[in-house]
Amino acid sequence: MSSVHTRAPGKINVCLFVGATRPSDGRHELVSVMQAVDLCDEVWVEDADADALVCPRVSGENIVTAALARFRARSGRSEPVAITIAKAIPVAAGMAGGSADAGAVLRLLDEHCGTGLGDDVLRELAAGLGADVPAQVRPGRYLALGAGERVAARRQPRPYGVVVLPHPEPLSTPAVYREFDRLRLARPATELAALAARVQVTADDLPDALVVNDLEPAAISLCPPVGRNLERLRSAGADLVLVSGSGPTTLGLTRDLDAAVDVAARLGPEAIATRVWDPDRSS
Residue 93 labelled as part of a binding site: yes
Residue 97 labelled as part of a binding site: yes
Residue 91 labelled as part of a binding site: yes
The catalytically annotated residue of 41, 110, 132, 214 is 132
Task: State yes or no: is 51 an active-site residue.
Answer: no
In angstroms, the CA 221 to CA 214 distance is 13
Residue 92 labelled as part of a binding site: yes
Q: Please give the sequence-ordered ranges of beta strands (E in DSSP) within the chain, or none if there are none.
A: 3-21, 28-47, 52-54, 81-86, 141-145, 150-154, 161-165, 240-243, 250-254, 272-275
The catalytically annotated residue of 11, 101, 110, 214 is 11
Task: State yes or no: is 11 an active-site residue.
Answer: yes
Residue 73 labelled as part of a binding site: no
Residue 118 labelled as part of a binding site: no
Judge contact between 4 and 128, C-beta under 8 A. no
Residue 90 labelled as part of a binding site: yes
Residue 95 labelled as part of a binding site: yes
**Residues 59-71, buried b or exposed e (16+ Cβ, 10 A)?**
eeebbbebbbebb
In angstroms, the CA 206 to CA 33 distance is 9
Please count the residues of the chain: 283
Residue 114 labelled as part of a binding site: no
What are the binding residues?
90-100
Give me the active site residues, please: 11, 132
What are the binding residues for ATP?
90-100
